[in-house]
Structure 1
Amino acid sequence: MPNNEASSGQRGKASSRFKKWLREKYPRVYGFFFSETPFYIHHFFGLLVSLGFLGGFLALTVPLWKSWAEIPYIGFIGSFLSSFIPPSDADKYPDGKVITDLRQHILYITGGIIAILTLLQTNWKNQGDRLKIDADIKKNEEDVKKSERDHVRQVHAERRSRYSKAVEQLANEKAAVRLGGIYTLVSLVDEWLTDDTLSPEERQKEGQVIINNLCSYVRSPFPHTELRELFEKNNSEENIPGDIRDEILQKQALFREEQDIRSTILTETINRLSNKRDNSEAEKKIPKKGPWSDFSYNFSGTHFLYNVDFRNIVINSRINFSHSIFG
């Protein structure tokens, strides 16, 4: 058995070498015998014309076949052709009838061969068209997938660009600009979580990066905390000494703006840490997880100088309030 396999492999290698040699030395001969296109397709028109002439020639020369047998050099052709002429009976099957029937058979056979070649050529053409259509469909599908991938990459790049810009806005001196950055970051988290082109792990990873930025902002030092008691008193402007009135009012405005911004961050976060409760009856239900419940939150060391309500929230990961101050 191993010997048979070895000899078969050797024959295969020899055949490959012969084909390679023939293709390099005699490409026309190689194309004639080993072309991927069948012979009858490659020479279809020539075959049809040749068969037509041959069939017509044989049909017209039937009466001469017997006489050809006596001609030198081509007598064997006449002998061969005359062998197809059946013996005639002058009364039942005269020579004229024999020649007519033989001509009809020649024409029928020629027409049948031409019809078969035409059917084969049509079938080959249909197969080629089908393969071309399949290739076009596959190419279109690949183009659509490529366009979808390009669109997804474009969307992700646009989100990351918005993220970078929003992070820069958090350091802006104007409260309105910082607040705009906060809403952009919150919106980006929601977009990443609903992105079906990413796996759940990738969505979680992208969202957690933004959550970390929001928590970092909340943990950052609160401006003018030392003047909080003064800000919270109901003092009118007249009760503030004139030489520091403008400075105090300016710091108070900054303090209030920062309270609003950080309160907005926590409000948006808390709203996404449980199911929404639209009526009083739902308040009594056990809260269910929200879209942001799987993130982790680090509020360690935060001074919450604004109202915040962490009741009825659901955290599936962890939340850190170590060393935080409320109030």
Structure 2
Amino acid sequence: MTLKPFHRQWPNLRLWPIGPVLTIAFVAAVSIASIVFYAGWDLLGVQGIKSEKRIDSKTLFDLVKLSFGVVAGSGALVALIVAYRRQRVDEAGALRDATRLHTERFTTAVGQLGDESAAVRLGGIHALAGLADDAPTRSLRQTCIDVLCAYLRLPYRAEVDLPQDDATAQHEYLALREVRHTVIRVVRDHLRLPQTNPHSWQGYDFDFTNVVFDGGDFSKAIFSSGIIDFTGAQFTSGEISFRDARFTGSSVKFSNALFCGSSASFENAEFHDGSIIFDGVQFSNGSASFEKSQFSGGQVSFLGAQFSGVLINFYGADFRCSRGSVSFADAQFSGGWIHFEDARFSEGPVHFDGAQFAGGRLYYDRAHFSGATVSFNNAQFESGNVSFDEATFSSGWITFDDAQFLGGETSFSSARFSGATVNFRETQFGSGQVSFESAKFFEGIVGFGGAQFFGSSIDFFGAEFLGCEVSFVDAHFSGGTLDFDRAYGFAAPIGLPSTPESFVPPGLRMPTAWFGSTNSGA
């Protein structure tokens, strides 16, 4: 006989003594009948009952029928209570039998997982997965899942750590690798099933802490609710794929994980609600792609993440976290390539506060900033290249307050500022190059209030100032160059010299047409 999945979890069966139960049932039945009787009496407006000194045979027969009806109803009530109690006892007994059978099968499957033969272990994995599908309670299914995850957490050496001339070690590694990847495939296949499927594992917890992954496929998996924990996991080689995966309402943790030499793909992944935590994660060598992924609602955090010598791709990603946030605060970008081309930042806050850009290349080319609050406050641009070429800033807030440009090249060439508020308050331009060549300033506000220019080269060559308020109020010029060569507009930005007699700081070059303008704004 095949046991069907039974997911209602019964506590220890507790039944009251039959005597008190029947007493309570009869009292409840009489009370309900009385309430119904008096409600009908009141609704019908009855003034009293006509008394009879003698009754005929018909009335007597009706009284007899009423008596028998009361007795029959009482018997039916007793039978119903007894049947219900018997059903509870039978269900509890069936659950005990199913649990006992589950325990026997569980012991056998776990024994197979510990076998020296890889073939037996593979059989144990599928037996344990089938056992999880047939588990009579949610907790027993979670136990089966926990064992599969624990198997992955066992000590494991990646291929790069094996002796090159040891054929036996290589053979054992390949066999163990196949067993481990089978666990990953089994988990993925169950997470692909819709939540309405009785064999779906969505909503359960998965503990992958400190697991060593040398590849694996979680593509199209659906992580809905539950806790998915990759804390401290190591992705050392091969390809780990979360392509087309969906994270909806779950808590997914990659805190302090290490991506070293592997290729990780989150392409077209969807992050809705819940939380995705990459705090302290290290990306070194290898690559990671979030191309065209969607972040809407929930919390996505790369707090303190380290990107060094790696290719990270957020090309075409969509950040719309109206009910959450995306944070790269205190992240370190040193070497490698980080791509945000054609990404869209709309709604919700995106933080790069305190991030350090030292070496490598960071691209925001053609990115769209509309409605979101994107902050680079206290960020440090020390070397390498950061590009916002052809980016569009329309509505929302983009802030570089207290940021430091102390080396490398930062470019806003052909960027379009229309309707957004972009602030460089108290920003330090100490060295390196910052270019706004051919940028267009239409509507909105761009402020350099209190910015310090000492040693860097700022270039507004060919920029257009038409309708946007650009302000350099309280800016300090003590070195470097600020070049507006061939820039044009109706008036000079606020805070710059407005007449030929005004003091022009060394390194500041402005179009002659701006002298004598009202200087009331662009």
TM-score interval (norm. to shorter): 0.3 to 0.5
Higher helix share: 1
Larger RCO: 1 or 2 (CA < 8 Å, sep 6+):
1
- TM (normalized to structure 2)? 0.29
Which of the two has higher C-alpha Rg? 1
Given the two structures, how large is their TM-score scaled by the length of structure 1? 0.43
The structure where strand makes up a greater share of residues is 2
